């Protein structure tokens, strides 16, 4: 089976001349059709840079990005515009209020991707808007409202519905629930899971919160200082983390039964081990068991 997203040996450097800084160092990552893959790492680890590189929004120093078997690394100009307008890959931002045009009603937002693809009748656009609104359980009465008149959860549903209107194969969700309250986070994560199951889309779920992946992601990729240090199934990452940085992330996840913060001495010990080991790649739990 051809991977939906195949990132191989990706290196990205930002800046110019002597001030150029390498952000990603030989990153490998795959998303299979219909999978949800979590990309986990703290702020500054390079998660958003990776997403932007996949979309062609930042220059790639070396390595390749393939979508559905097609190498899109070198797309420029009209070829890149045509690829974006195809809707194959859609990006869902962290803050739905900032990602939605405050001067456009929900209906116009939902159909803007379809309008960009080519002329459609008003009836076709209305049918499409109702279809995707229903897909994300967004009441039809909200289609005539502006983003500022919606709750945070409703705005994120609008953002997701806008992405689904063009029938994407891959959703890149960059911290899609971090700006929401805890109960709404669960609802949006369940929505993404339902879309993955019912629409057969692949999802790259970017987050700094390992707890957001539990029960949602099939696999997880841990990014530390621009390098992948561990990959595995979500269960493997949670239950038998191999890299000390992953262990630090797992130990920091709050428990419903125990809301106490991570013991400071344990946190310090793990951080010292992370510094000692560095950002070198680590085997996944499954690979370690096979050895």
Average pLDDT over residues 127-143: 95
Indicate whether 141 pLDDT > 90: yes
Average pLDDT over residues 211-228: 91
pLDDT at 254: 65
Q: Which domains does the chain have, with CATH numbers?
A: 5-88+168-290 (3.40.50.300)
Q: Which residues of 6-36 are buried (b: 16+ CB within 10 A; e: fewer)?
A: bbbebbbbeeeeeeeeebbbebebbbeebbb
For 12-26, what is each residue's pLDDT tens digit? 998 887 788 999 999
pLDDT at 206: 94
Alpha carbons within 13 angstroms on the beta-carbon side of residue 101 total 11
Q: Which of 186-190, 209-213, 223-227 has the highest mean pLDDT?
A: 223-227
Alpha carbon separation from 78 to 75, 115, 259 (Å, rounded):
8, 18, 52
What string of DSSP letters covers 204-245?
Answer: EEEES-GGGGTTT-SEEEEEETTEEEEEEEHHHHHHS--SHH
For 263-279, what is each residue's pLDDT tens digit? 555 555 555 655 665 65
Q: Could you tell me which of 20, 8, 50, 43 has the C-alpha nearest to residue 172?
A: 50
Average pLDDT over residues 59-87: 92
pLDDT at 62: 95
Indicate whether 229 pLDDT > 50: yes
Name which of 28-42, 51-65, 275-289 the model is least confident about: 275-289
Confidence of residue 179 (pLDDT cuts 50, 70, 90): confident
Average pLDDT over residues 83-90: 91
Confidence of residue 28 (pLDDT cuts 50, 70, 90): very high
pLDDT at 264: 56
Residue position matching structure tokens 């109702």: 130
Average pLDDT over residues 186-208: 92
What string of DSSP letters covers 114-162?
Answer: HHHH----HHHHHHHHHHHHHHTT--GGGTTS-GGGS-HHHHHHHHHHH
Neighbouring CB atoms inside 10 A of 135's CB total: 18
More confident residue, 118 or 91: 91
More confident residue, 165 or 119: 165
Indicate whether 118 pLDDT > 60: yes
If phi > 0 it is left, if psi is from -120 to 50 it is alpha, else beta; for residue 17 that is left
pLDDT at 273: 59
pLDDT at 119: 73
Q: Which helix (H) or strand (E) holds 31?
A: strand 21-31
pLDDT at 280: 53
More confident residue, 209 or 13: 13
Q: Which helix (H) or strand (E) holds 290?
A: helix 285-290
Question: Angle 152-164/122-135 helices, nearest 10 degrees?
Answer: 120
pLDDT at 284: 39
Q: What is the pTM of this model?
A: 0.86
């Amino acid at each position: 089976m051809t991977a939906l997203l195949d990132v191989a040996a990706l290196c990205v450097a930002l800046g110019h001349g002597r001030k150029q800084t390498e952000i990603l160092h030989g990153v490998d990552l795959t998303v299979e059709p219909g999978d949800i893959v979590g990309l986990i790492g703290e702020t500054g680890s390079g998660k958003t840079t990776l997403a932007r590189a996949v979309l062609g929004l930042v220059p790639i120093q070396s390595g390749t990005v393939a979508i559905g078997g097609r190498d899109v690394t070198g797309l420029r100009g009209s070829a890149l515009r045509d690829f974006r307008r195809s809707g194959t890959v859609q990006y869902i931002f962290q803050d739905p209020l900032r990602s939605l045009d405050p001067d456009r009603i929900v209906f116009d937002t939902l159909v803007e991707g379809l309008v960009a693809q080519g002329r459609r009748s008003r009836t076709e656009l209305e049918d499409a808007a109702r279809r995707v609104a229903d897909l994300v359980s967004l009441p039809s009465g909200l289609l005539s409202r502006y983003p500022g008149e919606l709750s945070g959860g409703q705005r994120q549903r609008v953002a997701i519905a806008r992405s689904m209107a063009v029938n994407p194969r891959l959703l890149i969700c960059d911290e899609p629930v971090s700006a929401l309250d805890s109960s709404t986070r669960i609802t949006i994560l369940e929505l993404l899971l339902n879309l993955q199951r019912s629409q057969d889309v692949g999802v790259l779920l970017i987050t700094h919160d390992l707890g957001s992946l539990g029960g949602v992601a099939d696999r997880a990729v841990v990014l530390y200082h621009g390098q992948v240090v561990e990959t595995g199934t979500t269960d493997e990452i949670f239950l038998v983390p191999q890299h000390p940085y992953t262990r630090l992330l797992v130990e920091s996840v709050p428990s419903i039964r125990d809301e106490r913060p991570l013991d400071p001495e344990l946190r310090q010990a793990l951080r010292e081990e992370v510094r000692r080991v560095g950002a070198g790649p680590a085997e996944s739990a499954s690979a370690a068991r096979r050895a």
